[in-house]
Structures are given as C-alpha cells and as structure tokens.
Structure 1
Amino acid sequence: MTKKQRWTAELIPDQTGRTFVVTGATSGLGLATTRALARRGARVVLAVRDEEKGRAVAEGLAASGAAAGALDVRRLDLADLASVRDFAGRMREEHSHLDVLINNAGVMAPPRTLSPQGHELQFAVNHLGHFALTGLLLDLLAAGGGNGRDPRVVTVSSINHRQGSLRHDDLSGERGYTPMAFYNQSKFANAVFGYELHRRLAEARSPVRSVLAHPGYTATSLQTRDTRGLLRFLLGSVGNPLIAQAPERGALPQLYAATESGVASGEFIGPDGLGELRGAPTRVRLSGAAADPAAGRRLWELSERLAEVRFPVTAS
C-alpha cells in the first residue's frame, strides 16, 4: 500500500449478506468498527457485556442512518467462560455460518482482579475468553467458506505485545502484580494466539484466515476507565489529547484486516505512521517472540486446558 493509496473506511467493499461478530461493540474501537461495517450493509452481532447499553447503541446507529445492515445485540461477558459458552450456543442456534469474528474487546490496567474461574482479569478477558470464543465458533466460520465468503478471525493485539511475555509461573499475579505488565502479557498472548491459529488453520487447509491487527495509540475509554492514579493521568489526560487518534481512525487496521481482499492469513495490520502510533493501515512486524512456534504451542496447550475448549485443528 503506497502513501498515495491510503486506505479509509470508505474503501470497505459492500458487505451485504455477510455476518460479523464484534466483541466490545458499544464503545471505542468496537463501536467504530460496528458503525463502519453496518454502513456497508453487514449484519453485525454486537457481543456485549451490557445488553441495555448495546441496545441503546444499536438504536442510535439505526436512528442516525448509520446502519444499512442489521444489528443484533447479544450478551457476552468474556471474563466468564460460562458466558462465552452460552453466547456460542446462541450463535449456533441462530446462524448456519458466520463470516468474520473480530476479537476486539479488552480491559487495560485495572487493579488485580480475578475472573469467575480464578484467572487474572486482563488475561481472562483479552486472551482466554477470545481463545474460547474462537474455538467454539470456528466450525461456523469454516461453514462460511463456500461461495466466496472468505471467513476470517481478526484478533486485536497492541504495540505493547512487543514488551510482553508470558509469566507461566505466575499467570494470575499472585506473587506480584503490575497492571501494565499484565496488560502487556495479555496483548502478547493475543499476538501469539493469532499467529498460532494461522499456523494451525493453514496446516488443516481451513478456509478461515487468522489476521492480527493493532490500533496504534487510540483515544478510548481503556485509558481512563480501567487505570488508576498517575498512569490514568498520563494516558488519559496528557497522552490522549496530544498523541492519540480518534477511534474511527484506530479501527481502520482491524477493518482492513476483516474486509480487504488482499490480506493474507498470518499478517499483522497496524498504522503506517511514526512508531505505528497513528496513520493508515499497513502490514507491520510481529515480534519474533510472538511468532515463535514453541511459544505458540505452549500457550495453545495452556489455553485449551484453562478454557476447556479444544479446536478442530491441530499442529503438526
């Protein structure tokens, strides 16, 4: 992609007849993604923790004329694996196939909190819930591989994945918890998962593509709702006005990853500006640690055990 061909949401092809699931669709990147897809005729399932808020968002989009496609609101609490299973079961009842799953929702730097199953909240929401959701919906995505439907899983990571690693000896932070370090761990897990999923889908000759994306530095409620003290001030009050781009711009990499025909499985899409902080979507570098096959296998096996979900694809 050249500078003269900077990609915008106006270049999204017509999505009429395609069904997308977007997690965290009521604010920030998820809302911007939902709005852009619905404008292009897609049917969008808003997978949200707060159904009342989700319905208000859907009604607002419809009233503003921003939704040419259908908007369905369904409850999904990614922190709770039981909720993930309930949501997946409902999708199976309502849909014969799905076209694209966008693993977008996330939490950032809260005080140490455990999920209902006892996992550190950021690892539970940002990675483990999305891992389980993808596994439970993968056959519906594969069923959408006919008639040129081009099914995809888009997993939203972060620039911060390059600063992260997996603390296999203390995933829950019991022996020491730093909010941003565990956020980086969860975003690293997103990157490892997305690339390992690509490897396994390719080996299985699945029609589903696994694509990664990151939004650069985007002003969302993550920087203000879930952080505390000095970090909250620096990220929200100082960084957002000076550096951050709007959610409509930050959502472009995941929209590109979800809809652009030339995107290959395993690619990582992010902003093309300085430091990948902002700009138009382009292919960017995944860290070597995230692309390491041994790291992928280890996280996969751990995630299958913790989520009690097995994928219908295996690694050689």
Structure 2
Amino acid sequence: MQSVVKPVLGPRKEVSDLTGRVAVVIGGALGIGYEISRAFVLNGARVIMVNRKEEQGDEAVKKIKKEAGDDANIQWIPCDMGDLKQTKERFTKIRSEENRLDLLVLSAGINANQYGETNDGIDRHFQVNWLGQFYVCNLLYPLLRKTSKFPDTPAPRIVFLSSEQHRSSQKAVHFASLDEINNPKMGPVELYGRSKLAIILGVKYGLVERVIKPNKDNIYALSVHPGAVNTAMQQQWKEAYPGITGKLITSAMLAMGRDVEQGSFSALYAASSPDIEERGWNGYYLTDPGEKGKESAQASNANLGAALWNLSQQIIKEKVGDDAITNWSAAIV
C-alpha cells in the first residue's frame, strides 16, 4: 500500500548534480545511509561508505555497482563508532589520503534499546549516535576546510541524522560528566532521545557557533529528521521492551513508517540542495526537504550546547589522549 500513497503523501526527493564531489557516509552500507550513498553515486559523486561489518559493506558496494555500473566510484571501509581509538586511526588515514571532502553524512545509529556500554566504557547510544560521529567531524574538518577554499566549489556540507525523538530526552540533562551519561536507570526511549538531542545541540551550538562562525568557514552543518522509517532498526524495539510490548511497538512503527528511500530525502536535500546556501540555513534542523523543524526547549538551550561541546571533547581526550582533538582551525595545504 505504501508504494501507492508514496507519491502523494511522501516527501519529495531532491538531489543536485554531484559530479566531481567526494562524500563520506557514516553508516553508509545499511538502511537510510545506504540510500544516501546510492543516491550520491547515481548523481556523480565518489563515495566512501563506513560501517562496522565487512559483509554489509561488500554487499552494499555490490548492489550499487550493479545499478550504477562497475565503474561506479564507491568504496567501503570498516570502523566501529563505539571505538574512539579505531575512529582516530581510520579517519586520520582518510584525511591524509584524500584531496578533498565535499559531503560528510553521519547516519550511524542505535535505535531505542536497553542501556549498555561500549568498549570505551561509555553509554552506547551516546557514543555511537553522537560522540563517535562528532569525533569523525573533528578529524575530517581540516579536509572540509581545504575543500571550501577551492574555486567554483559549493560549500561543503556536514549532515547529521537526528530525530523528533529528541523530545523524549530526560528534562534533567546537563551534559556535566561521564557519570551522568552512564546512567543505567534511563529507559530506552530516554537514552535514544538524549543522543538525538545531543546532535541538534552539537550542530547548532557546537559546529556552527564554536567552529564555523569563528573561523568564517564557508561550510554548512545541519541536522535532519528522516521520519519513522522501515529499517532493521525498528526491530530493536523488541530488545528495548522484551515481550509483547516490544512486538507491538515494532509492528506499529513498521505499519506507519516511510520506506527507506523516503527516509533519505531530508538528508539528501540538506547535503545537496542549493537552497541551503541561498537561504543561509546553517545550523538548522530540518524535518523534511525544505521544512525547518521546531526544536524542543532543550535543543534551543545554548548553555546546554556549550556543556555538551566541552564534555564531548573532554571524554575523547580522556579515552584517546591529550592530543586526540584536531585543531578546529587547522587546514590541509
């Protein structure tokens, strides 16, 4: 039925010509990330997909080349967003090997699920959905700055996948310490909501206010809501709420959700539409192509954004080393 109503009720798809541009898509071999990678390749970009599992990457490359042709410029590299030292290793290497980076899409994620910690000893929702991908931005930012100075080149874009579920975050969130983050008493929806809140705050009050504006960089950073989407992530509700409750939530989400391709449309618009530059939509949260979202009061709290920024950099330094954070004002010559 969804295929029948899709042209009428679904969001519109907008992807500009991306010939000659280079994209990195975190979580790019599965679900929404895969659809973003696929659309980028079909519209002329060279794409580097990043995922944790080799079989997922191999299958994604195979499927895209079958559609786009064997000469499609697509590759996959492994990285676990739950491992900060591995993240540093992988993305420092990309930064040293690539000549440019036009599009950085951060779509890896854990859906609402039970509390658990990564190998770094951090709440897995917070690390995978926000912290690890924030670190990717930091490591690749000099390459984005370099690209922004190329003549006749559209401004590079950073696009995070957030969610309207950011409204489900606990009200008593301060981003004051790792002990606060590692709270096993928080429920699945609250854990997920807090990580998606972090994304909106980190884009608006972190990347834009603390990096892009002070540097006067011609780079755009946005967060987007993809909608409720029928991906494998919906199955995590069964783990989040074992028993009949989880099964009922999963069934409901699958029945009402958009198909996976539709779920990519907000990110594709944010990554490629000329509207973003023309309208000056830097730091914005979009809920559909061309539609500005209205964030929660928490997501509009500049002090909370500052606390998140400081804590994120502090945790990375504690886990990786004092020299872990790349200078946000650095550029590759």
The alignment's TM-score, normalised by the length of structure 2, stands at 0.84
Q: Which protein is richer in helix relative to its size?
A: 2
Are 1:193 and 2:193 matched, yes or no? no
Give the aligned residue type for 2:158: V
Out of 262, 268, 272, the residue aligned to residue 285 of structure 2 is 268
Q: State the 1:178 CA deviation.
A: 1.2
| Cα distance in structure 2, aligned partners of 1:284 and 1:100 | 22
Out of 186, 209, 212, the residue aligned to residue 223 of structure 2 is 212
Q: State the 1:281 CA deviation.
A: 4.8
Question: Any residues of structure 2 matched to 1:1-316 within 5 Å, and which?
Answer: 8-9=12-13, 11-65=14-68, 69-145=72-148, 146-147=150-151, 148-165=153-170, 166=173, 168=175, 170-174=180-184, 176-196=185-205, 197-200=207-210, 201-225=212-236, 227-228=238-239, 229=242, 230-241=244-255, 243-263=256-276, 264-271=281-288, 281-308=290-317, 309-310=324-325, 312-313=327-328
Q: State the 1:66 CA deviation.
A: 7.0
| Cα distance in structure 2, aligned partners of 1:235 and 1:67 | 40
Q: Deviations over 1:74-126 (max 9, x none)?
A: 11100110121122122123202211111111001233211111001101100
| Cα distance in structure 2, aligned partners of 1:193 and 1:67 | 38
Give the aligned residue type for 1:39: L
| Cα distance in structure 1, aligned partners of 2:115 and 2:69 | 38
Structure 1 residues 226 and 45: alpha-carbon distance in aligned structure 2, compared to 1, 3 A threshold: farther
| Cα distance in structure 2, aligned partners of 1:126 and 1:82 | 16
| Cα distance in structure 2, aligned partners of 1:15 and 1:128 | 28
- Conserved 8 A contact 2:129-2:195: yes
- Conserved 8 A contact 1:39-1:66: no
| Cα distance in structure 1, aligned partners of 2:125 and 2:57 | 22
Q: State the 1:231 CA deviation.
A: 4.7
Q: State the 1:134 CA deviation.
A: 0.6
- Conserved 8 A contact 2:174-2:307: no
Structure with greater contact order relative to length (CA < 8 Å, sep ≥ 6): 2
Q: Which runs of 5+ in 2 are unaligned?
A: 1-7, 318-323
- Conserved 8 A contact 1:164-1:185: yes
SS at match of 2:68: coil
Q: Which runs of 5+ in 1 are unaligned?
A: 272-279
The alignment's TM-score, normalised by the length of structure 1, stands at 0.88
Give the total of aligned pairs. 299
- Conserved 8 A contact 1:16-1:69: no
